[in-house]
């Protein structure tokens, strides 16, 4: 059952374990090591059986790692070359700091708690005198987020007034909120929606009002992770030529393909999951976007939207 580790995976683990054990002169138990460093007892023993043969030329007893392994107890005394663990890679340090700063940015975080203290010490070990080398804002709307998190924890059914941006529609829904998460900078709540009789994901900044229905719901069985929005293959397409000043579209919308034209413009094909967001995009881009080809259902989208808005100005 135990997964076989590669030689490099064993090396990485042992370069952390050996100094950690050596720093504890009385030794430690194998079960503590196996919990702390995420190895099965078998994997751990396989490694340790080899470590006691490791050392430097001429490999006489005094040049080897001095390791004693007796039943569940291990002790290491060693020459000083393995006295300290290996530094973190930059990518590892970034993953840890970014995750930690994210949690610290949430409304409930304790700015003086163990996480904050741990991040300060970590920053110092990474050679920085400031722990604020990374700042994360998972999303705004902290009041609603706190209310929703509370409802998730207490399994309280809610009624929300929700604005569907894509369809430009405001409607009231009854939901069982399962989880609240931030994905790519926005807060979402994943819930069972009684109006749709299905699981739905709602963007928290489009929830206009939240009312507690004083009812406890039974949680459903679903993956807890909220994934980023991805258009489906059935969505109609539109192809635009974008002026250089409109290149930002590429980083903000689901792009099917891009091609740089000889005149410096960018030809992009977008999948359109709802007409209203395309309307918004096109009226904002104006002359910076030229429609090259489009699904017939989207053909009059830009002029319809422009005319609708103009009605407010030309009355």
Partner 1 sequence: MAAIDDKFERLMNLTAALLDAERPLSAEYIHEHVAGYTSDGESYRRAFERDKADLLELGIPIVLLQIPGESLGTLGYRIERTDYELPDPELDPEELAALHLALRAVRVGESETLGTRALWRLGGVLGADDDNPDASELALGALPTDPSLIPLFGAVLERRVATFTYGTSEGEATRSLEPWRLEFQRGHWYVLGFDIDRQGERNFRVDRIVGPIETGPAGAFSPSGESRGERPFRPWNPDGSGDQPVTAILRVDGEHAVTATELLGTETIRDVEIDGATIYEVPVTSWPAFRSFVLSFLDHAELIGPPELRSDLVDWLGTMDDEGSGS
Among residue numbers 167 through 206, which ones bind partner 1 (CB under 8 A)? Answer: 168, 170, 178-179, 181-187, 205-206
Instruction: Report helix angle 114-125 to 90-104, nearest 10.
Output: 150
The residues in 115-174 that bind partner 1, with binding defined as CB under 8 A, are: 115, 117-119, 121-122, 124-128, 130, 132-138, 140-141, 152-153, 163, 168, 170
Regarding 261 and contact with partner 1 (CB under 8 A), the answer is no
CA distance 15 to 103: 29
CB atoms within 10 A of CB 194: 14
CB of 235 to partner 1, least distance (A): 20
Rounded to the nearest whole angstrom, what is the least distance from the CB of residue 147 to partner 1 in the complex? 14
Given a contact cutoff of 8 angstroms between Cβ atoms, the answer to whether 170 and 161 are in contact is yes
Residue 26 has, within 13 A of its CA and on its CB side, a CA count of 1
Length of the chain: 315
- Of 234 and 264, nearer to partner 1 (C-beta) is 264
Under the criterion CB under 8 A, does residue 283 sit at the interface with partner 1?
A: yes
Residue written as tokens 């924890």?
Answer: 153
The rounded Cα 168 to chain-centroid distance in angstroms is 28
Residues ≥6 apart with Cβ < 8 Å to 82 = 15, 18, 19, 22, 65
Shortest spacing between CB 32 and partner 1, in angstroms: 9
Closest distance to partner 1 from the beta carbon of 45 (Å): 12
- Name every residue whose Cβ is closer than 8 Å to that of residue 50 and which is 6 or more positions away in sequence: none
Task: Report 15-54 residues binding partner 1 (CB under 8 A).
Answer: 15-17, 20, 35-38, 46-47, 50-51, 53-54
Q: Among 191, 187, 195, 290, which Cα is nearest to 238's?
A: 290
> Which residue number, 24 or 234, has a Cβ lying nearer to partner 1?
24
Give the residue, chosen from 142, 239, 269, 276, that forms a contact with partner 1 under the rule CB under 8 A. Answer: 276
Q: Does 230 bind partner 1 (CB under 8 A)?
A: no
Interface with partner 1 in residues 66-125 (CB under 8 A)? 79, 81-100, 102-103, 106, 113-115, 117-119, 121-122, 124-125
Residue window 203-222: x/- pattern of binding to partner 1, with contact defined by CB under 8 A: --xx-x--------------
For residue 75, the SS3 value is strand
**Considering beta carbons, is residue 38 or 71 the nearer one to partner 1?**
38
Closest approach of Cβ 64 to partner 1, in Å?
9
Q: Site size for partner 1, by CB under 8 A? A: 125
**286 touches partner 1 (CB under 8 A):** yes
How far apart (Å, rounded) are the C-alpha atoms in residues 147 and 218?
Answer: 19
Cα–Cα distance, 103 to 88 (Å, whole number): 21
Q: Which two tokens stand for residue 278?
A: 């395309």
């Amino acid at each position: 059952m135990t997964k076989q580790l590669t030689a490099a995976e064993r090396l990485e683990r042992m370069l952390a374990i050996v100094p950690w054990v050596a720093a504890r002169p009385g030794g430690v138990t194998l079960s503590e090591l196996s919990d702390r460093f995420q190895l099965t007892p078998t994997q751990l023993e396989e490694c340790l059986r080899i470590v006691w043969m490791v050392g430097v030329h001429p490999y006489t007893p005094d040049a080897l790692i001095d390791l004693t392994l007796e039943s569940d107890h291990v002790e290491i005394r060693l020459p000083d070359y393995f006295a300290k663990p290996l530094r973190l890679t930059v990518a590892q340090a970034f993953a840890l700091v970014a995750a930690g700063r994210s949690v610290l940015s949430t409304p409930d975080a304790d700015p003086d708690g163990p996480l904050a203290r741990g991040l300060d010490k970590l920053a110092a070990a990474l050679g920085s005198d400031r722990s604020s080398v990374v700042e994360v804002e998972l999303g705004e709307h902290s009041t609603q987020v706190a209310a929703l998190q509370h409802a998730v924890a207490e399994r309280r059914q809610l009624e929300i007034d929700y604005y569907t941006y894509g369809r430009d529609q405001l409607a009231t829904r009854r939901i069982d909120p399962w989880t609240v998460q931030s994905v790519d900078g926005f807060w979402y709540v994943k819930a069972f929606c009684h109006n749709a009789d299905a699981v739905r994901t709602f963007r928290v900044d489009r929830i206009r009002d939240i009312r507690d229905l004083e009812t406890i719901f039974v949680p459903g069985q679903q993956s807890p992770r909220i994934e980023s929005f991805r258009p489906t293959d059935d969505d109609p397409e539109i192809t635009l030529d974008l002026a250089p000043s409109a290149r930002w579209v590429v980083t903000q919308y689901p792009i099917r393909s891009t091609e740089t034209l000889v005149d410096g413009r960018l030809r992009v094909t977008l999948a359109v999951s709802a007409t209203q967001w395309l309307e918004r995009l096109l009226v904002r881009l104006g002359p910076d976007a030229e429609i090259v080809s489009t699904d017939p259902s989207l053909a009059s989208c830009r002029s319809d939207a422009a005319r609708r808005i103009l009605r407010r100005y030309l009355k």
